[in-house]
Chains A and B, each alone.
Chain A
């Protein structure tokens, strides 16, 4: 792309002659959008990689899968014939760009002729025009969309430089990664230090940094399986189950409140605890999905399996007066359908409610066939204040909403309107995906179909999401979209390998995760390699680094300070929150809820257990990009804002934790400030401070100590923050000064980064 920007492009009265010159010029360049950072030449354009993204983005809205919107009977998403429409070949002469009407139309100067029409304001760029022309010159070969093709387990690449078993690779992942690096002429990054790897893997698998004891033990263990032993220990912990659950709660849009209107409380935490227990026992992923989608339909369904179906009930519900029950009921079914689409199929289905998909070959009718699987459920659209919405089961002295079948006809809803019934439809799956077969046409059959070994999407989408969890970005960058508009995978064969392997190993998550975290790829140092111009690390030429999620920022401070309460499950809790957040919702007195802060150990539970109110998520979570969980979320953002700085500098959790950490390190090394600083540093950042870090922090300590000694009121105020007891046996001024050092450490960029 760089070379292209240097081309002097005449202000094109784009005659085809000029265009063909351009085609030749471009042949000398690397211009594939999906591979823009690769310096190699691309000899032959690929429909999937180079052409479909252009057609999909610029042409399919009128010449794509949506029959109703199709102009001039022409669809460009497929090559030829079919029933009653003209495919791409009606305007393309394979091998002859100049003779192809498509080229004439996209390069015309005449506003009445040129495509796309100027009024659409979404013109083709010159390089896109040139690519289309060149693809035609090369024979205009169409390909099926990669993610709809069956998954075949690829052979491991023979790496040209090093032979089949190179010295770097530790497992299959590395073979694929290295093959690509070698093709680019890039060396992998050096191995991360042991501490860095331990911190990385412990954060990834447990959401917490390693303890000082764990670091010392690992550094002392020179046995060949030291790394694997650590991973096995971590995978067996409650912390692991909680860490995995944290991600799934976003996916499954779990919350403790109803969402719409007054956003009052609901009780779904027993479902959350089911998720934690499932991860703790390493439930096979296919069972994990089946029980959540359709546990109630399993033979002799247990209470646990029925609780699992709360997954489908997690969406927001309303109690707003004046709403029409059926309208909200349909909205709920839509939510379940699109959640399954996003989470399991990697397909965006929202648009199909009203019209055929503009990009992907999914018709409105097919959407409502999927919808029909979820439509036969007994729950109404609307609830009443303070009541669970039936059906529910009794659990932990309360009612948990679950699924229950109730026969109901489904129709295409014209224009997506709940009361505009069109054609009657039976439950079914999109024609572009494998046939549904003789399975029962209910949610259980749907789960079986999704998890079938022929299914091209579920396993790919799943391993991609787990990859994202460990590398910050998926092999497919858009975990929610594997359709035509999605960017292609950075390592397509690796994705397929992992998907096939995961399925072959009975959807065993431990197996998948161990492969990832024990790979040489994962073990690389994460120092950014600016010379590679690959800031997102799509090449995997270094270890991944990214800001840790909101919850873990808080949990880490609680752990470092010794405040963290480790207790699995139970009702959600209410940590410190600025006054008035719930009152700000403006609910009338009859519907208002009061935030009653927890006391004692409950103040220091993991953030996973913080009460999740959708309309007013905890502000310290929100500033660090926790979603509202109104809808299924499969990727969180990582922003960088001044409000984050304020939350870490002034949030009572951090001020209190800094004091407790100060007390702890002073007790551990009385009178020895350098050791105190080192310990505070290690408890937070795992590594030891550098000399310069040590001296800057020591100077800060001395300055602050002097200041607190001169101003005892300031000391008192600092020590008064938080509910935890003050250790009266220590010098208050020293505690306050060391607390400022600890707060400084909590605020370091490295502290909130997993690198």
Chain B
């Protein structure tokens, strides 16, 4: 029965039935054969094909970093500094409400020096000295495009494939589709850090919510501080051995009730109490960094010693990957540089550059990068023209959905590839556009999932992460 309990932990009823059909026929599944079982048989058995990756670490830069100040080098900006962009390219995209009343939209050159790096000769700004060192390990996608131009819908779109609330996030789809790889930790963990900026974008729980999928697939936020998981600590501080006495009685009484009532939900509940017990030792072990050496901090930077920083969360992401947590979602906020970009962008880069590069290097050294996809990017890009219609030293840039840069490392994404091109003014993609749904389709593909077949029927419709869109971008994965 232990084995069954464990299965109940990890998989939902549908997948249980498939297992039943696949040969574990001796299991006492009779009680679970629901009236809906006929359609269960059509649920795809995962993976759909051989997976290249089994984990994802998504380093979300919330607020939207400026691609033209970091990765997408545009020498033409210097020549046309101060000119109205729409005298150079036709306006084909709506402006945000911040900008739609300005008479001109002057181009602002970047203040930062760009140089080519690595064997692939990728252009990277001087603001990212560490990430410049690993361009050959990273697939640079300069041609990502999205649809919404405001933060809330764009974040929601990037995370769930749809701009309105209510759909499952990428991590939830993955957890739903692939199930758990470990016994002691959630499948989908969320880590949040913030950059210091007046106008920060809020991070709503629904970004890692499970939408219409079961709540068990929602992301679990690991917080900094004494209780990384809510209610992990007993406020009365009983030693875990004392709590075990209580848990033992709960278990025995629940077993009696199971025998009396035949309610199989009790079996799952018994298993979940055991998992809750194991989490109480597993999570403190995870956050106890005493087993890290100095070389770790040389790699990630000294900030990695401080809980709550981006660097600490990157280190935690590696530790979670080592524990086979499927999906680790980081957010670092403070990238929304409408004003005084030169005052803020360097700070965000300083907070994130070394740890991002450190994480990728660390995973590579530990042999984890082969089957871990590391993603880096924001919810959209930023305009090459000025925020406020004026040319000024402390410029800012508005939201831009037409094109922006994202990075993908590991998990079969072609290392060193530079994919896609944008026009001289970084207004539109001119080659190899990668819409968000295509990116999602490609990520799922690497995980062994056909994005058209991982569906969930809700309100009578088969929903999927990629809605009715999505194409696996073969070029990105070789």
Interface residues of A (CB under 8 A from B): 1, 5, 31, 33-37, 56-57, 121-122, 125, 260-263, 316, 318, 320-325, 331, 348, 350-351, 358-359, 477-478, 480-481, 483-487, 490, 526-531, 533-536, 538, 545, 547, 578, 580, 584-590, 614-617, 619-620, 622-623, 625, 628, 630-631, 637, 639-647, 649-652, 655, 690, 692-693, 696-697, 700, 703-704, 707, 714, 717-718, 720-721, 740, 743-744, 747-750, 753, 755
Contact = CB atoms under 8 A, between A and B. Distances in A.
Contacts of B322: none
27 contacts: A1-B37, A5-B21, A31-B38, A125-B42, A322-B98, A325-B97, A348-B461, A480-B459, A484-B460, A526-B261, A536-B35, A584-B203, A622-B205, A630-B165, A640-B269, A640-B272, A645-B269, A649-B234, A649-B276, A651-B231, A690-B256, A693-B256, A696-B249, A718-B236, A744-B250, A747-B250, A748-B257
A260 B152 contact: yes
B263 A545 contact: yes
Contact of A359 (B252, B275, B460): B460
Nearest to B280: A646
Nearest to B204: A615
Interface stretch (B77-85, B192-200, B344-352, B362-370): B192-200
A122 B468 CA distance: 13
B367 to A, nearest CB: 30
B359 interface: no
B113 interface: no
Contacts of B246: 649, 700, 740, 743-744, 747
Max count, chain B CB within 10 A of own CB: residue among A322, A331, A586, A620 = A586
Given A261-B151, A538-B35, A642-B275, 4 more contacts: A359-B461, A486-B460, A639-B216, A655-B236
| Closest 6 pairs (CB-CB, A-B) | A485-B460, A528-B262, A645-B276, A33-B38, A642-B275, A322-B96
Interface string B207-242: 001000011100011010101011111111110001
Contacts of A481: 459-460
B264 A655 contact: no
Contacts of B337: none
B93 interface: no
Contacts of B242: 704, 707, 714
Interface centre among B30, B204, B457 (most CB of A within 10 A): B204
Contact of B262 (A56, A529, A693): A529
B478 interface: no
B235 A655 contact: yes
B262 A527 contact: yes
B476 interface: no
A704 B203 CA distance: 43
Contact of A700 (B232, B249, B264): B249
Contact of A628 (B206, B257, B276): B206
Given A584-B223, A585-B204, A321 B98 contact: yes
B205 A617 contact: yes
Given A693-B253, A704-B245, A351 B461 contact: yes
Contacts of A622: 205
B296 interface: no
B378 to A, nearest CB: 15
B202 A530 contact: no
Contacts of B227: 578
Contacts of B186: 642
B298 interface: no
Contacts of A57: 462
Interface in B330-365: 333
B231 A318 contact: no
Contact of A478 (B37, B96, B276, B460): B460
A604 B268 CA distance: 30
Interface string B353-393: 00000000000000000000000000000000000000000
A487 B36 contact: yes
Given A586-B192, A646-B230, A639 B202 contact: no
Nearest to A739: B236
A530 B262 CA distance: 7
B450 interface: yes
A261 B152 contact: yes
B34 to A, nearest CB: 6
B17 to A, nearest CB: 11
B262 A721 contact: no
Contact of B235 (A121, A526, A721): A721
Point out which of B166, B233, B459 has the most chain A C-beta atoms below 10 A from its C-beta. Answer: B459
B35 A642 contact: no
Contacts of B253: 693, 696, 744, 748
B229 A637 contact: no
B266 interface: yes
Contact of A714 (B97, B215, B230, B236): B236
Nearest to A334: B164
Given A487-B36, A584-B221, A628-B205, A645 B230 contact: no
B236 A34 contact: no
A692 B256 CA distance: 9
Contacts of A692: 256
A320 B150 contact: yes
Given A5-B21, A324-B97, A748-B253, A533 B202 contact: no
Given A320-B150, A640-B216, A643-B230, A587 B268 contact: no
A323 B97 contact: yes
B234 A650 contact: yes
Contacts of B38: 1, 31, 33, 36
Contact of B254 (A122, A260, A359, A749): A749
B200 A587 contact: yes
A122 B453 CA distance: 8
A33 to B, nearest CB: 4
B61 to A, nearest CB: 13
A57 B38 CA distance: 13
B450 A121 contact: yes
Nearest to A119: B452
Contact of B273 (A33, A642, A650, A652): A642
B5 to A, nearest CB: 12
Interface in B156-212: 164-166, 186, 192, 194, 197-206, 209
B202 A261 contact: yes
A35 B460 contact: no
A125 B201 CA distance: 47
B400 interface: no
Nearest to B209: A628
Contacts of A620: 231
Nearest to B215: A639
B461 A485 contact: yes
A53 B357 CA distance: 52
Contacts of A753: 263, 265
B95 to A, nearest CB: 9
A749 B266 contact: yes
Interface string B48-75: 0000000000000000000000000000
A697 B333 CA distance: 49
A249 B432 CA distance: 47
B272 A644 contact: yes
B4 interface: no
Contacts of B265: 547, 640, 749, 753
Contacts of A325: 97
Interface in B79-113: 96-100
A346 to B, nearest CB: 10
B293 interface: no
Contacts of B295: none
A310 B17 CA distance: 45
B204 A263 contact: yes
Contacts of A655: 234-236
A690 B255 CA distance: 13
Contacts of B333: 586
Contacts of B23: none
A711 to B, nearest CB: 9
B130 interface: no
